[in-house]
A and B are shown apart, each in its own frame.
Chain A
Amino acid sequence: MRVLRTPGAVLAALLVVVGLSSCEEQKVTRYEPGKYSGAPVASPWDSPQYGGKQAEWEAAIQARTQGQNDYARIPAK
């Protein structure tokens, strides 16, 4: 390795390394979610059927969901 024997060559190599490192892409270390750009979403209880009554809608959905439990529908032996 004759190339890096002189101090000038070492300095030049160092300058190249430092110079190229400044070209490195900046790392994203923190993710920031974007802001929703679309149209607003209506709440499911803001429907003609429930007219904004959230509690009524919640009760209906809970009952409907629980209706999928066949152990609750069929009496235990």
Chain B
Amino acid sequence: MARMKFICDANRCIECNGCVTACKNANDVPWGVNRRRVVTLNDGVPGERSISVACMHCSDAPCMAVCPVDCFVRSEDGVVLHDKDQCIGCGYCLYACPFGAPQFPQAGAFGARGKMDKCTFCEGGPGKGSEEAQYGKYGQNRVAQGKLPLCAEMCSTKALLAGDGDVIANIFRERVTVRGKGSEVIGWATAYGTPKGGSTPPASEGKK
């Protein structure tokens, strides 16, 4: 069973924002809402790194844990979706999410928040309705057509990988092995620190 994930290869991302544009256009994302964005670390400094960020479809999603109306659900292929008919736009998910993925369109006067909007891995959303109504709420359902999210498919340098977590992890691992570097920005050492005493890291990461 495929378990859908994203991974961004920061050694390849050139900050072109093609993924952001593709997402906005493919899903008719409203003004002021960005389901995906490119973040640059050490901007302007030699060695700067960019990374494309959206909902990471966490296996233990904090948004799902804090939602007071329990409108989040994980699809059979591991994509975190939410029912906009149940969402009350409280914003708890935004505070809980470490990636800032939940977005809120401004609805009405006084900056009132609308219902939450986030990346759906181009998998539509819960419920049945007319194709047009579903598209209006959630955007395209490319996964049901055997395709991958448009952001990853449009990525010119193939920095952004999407698909079954095992497969994309292997693609990334092969890249790191071939070029001999690249796990220092996103990798085991970043997430869990470098082991002290010279012990071998649990996962093979190639040369740094």
Which positions in A face B, CB cutoff 8 Å?
A: 31, 33-47, 49-50, 57-58, 60-62, 64-66, 68-71
Contact = CB atoms under 8 A, between A and B. Distances in A.
B196 to A, nearest CB: 32
B33 interface: no
Contact of B143 (A31, A34, A38, A44): A44
B117 interface: no
B69 interface: yes
- Interface band, chain B: 35 or more
Nearest to A31: B65
B154 to A, nearest CB: 12
Interface of B: 1-2, 64-65, 67, 69-73, 75-77, 81-83, 85-86, 123, 125-128, 141, 143-148, 152, 158, 161-164, 167-168, 171, 174-175, 178
Nearest to A35: B70
B167 A44 contact: no
A65 B178 CA distance: 19
A68 B163 contact: yes
A65 B168 CA distance: 7
